[in-house]
Amino acid sequence: MTAVVRAIDVGFGYTKFTVGGSASDIRCARFPSLACLSTRDPSASLGAERRRTFAIPIKGVFYEVGPDVVLAGDGFRATQIHHRYIDTPEYLALARGAMRSMRVEHIDLLVVGLPVATFAADKAALEKLMTGRHDVGGGKTVHVRKALAMAQPHGALIDYADQHDRVLAMQDEQVW
């Protein structure tokens, strides 16, 4: 059985994530990093407009996230831009919305990105937050067996090395 490995980067502008693929073809997706608060599941309402969003339950309220989330808002875009971003329910809703978009019931390894400025302070806490069972709304859950937080520039470096066939060569290189 092949291990299920996925990645999420909840950024201030977009939430980016992998949705599958193979070793040579990784498929990715994204949606705006905007979570609209609601006291009920908007998709359960009669006459609810059809949009590509998920209602993610967090502590008794719902956060609507997804590609069409701008249709759920009222034109006001409140963002959580501060050093404790990973501790907010909006962050968790965005991460869980990405997990739901992956359409898997379990993830063996979930790689998550962190800004360099908060990496040392937040690495352990984010790995703990992302590990375990996550209610992703709609009666669905995703179980993450292990999470690994990486500084965001590492993803760019790995992508560069892969695109330029430098992965093996870079393993033995040193930067002075």
Predicted confidence (pLDDT) per residue in 162-171, tens digit: 788 888 888 7
- Lowest-pLDDT choice from 12-26, 46-60, 88-102: 46-60
- Lowest-pLDDT choice from 42-56, 71-85, 88-102: 71-85
pTM of the model as a whole: 0.86
pLDDT of residue 70: 84
d(CA 55, CA 130): 18
Task: Band the pLDDT of 44: cuts 50, 70, 90.
Answer: low
pLDDT of residue 157: 82
Task: Band the pLDDT of 16: cuts 50, 70, 90.
Answer: very high
Who has greater pLDDT, 18 or 167?
18
Taking 60 as the threshold, does the pLDDT of residue 19 lie above it?
A: yes
Taking 80 as the threshold, does the pLDDT of residue 24 lie above it?
A: no
Q: CB count, 10 Å around CB of 34?
A: 22
Quote the mean pLDDT of the chain: 87
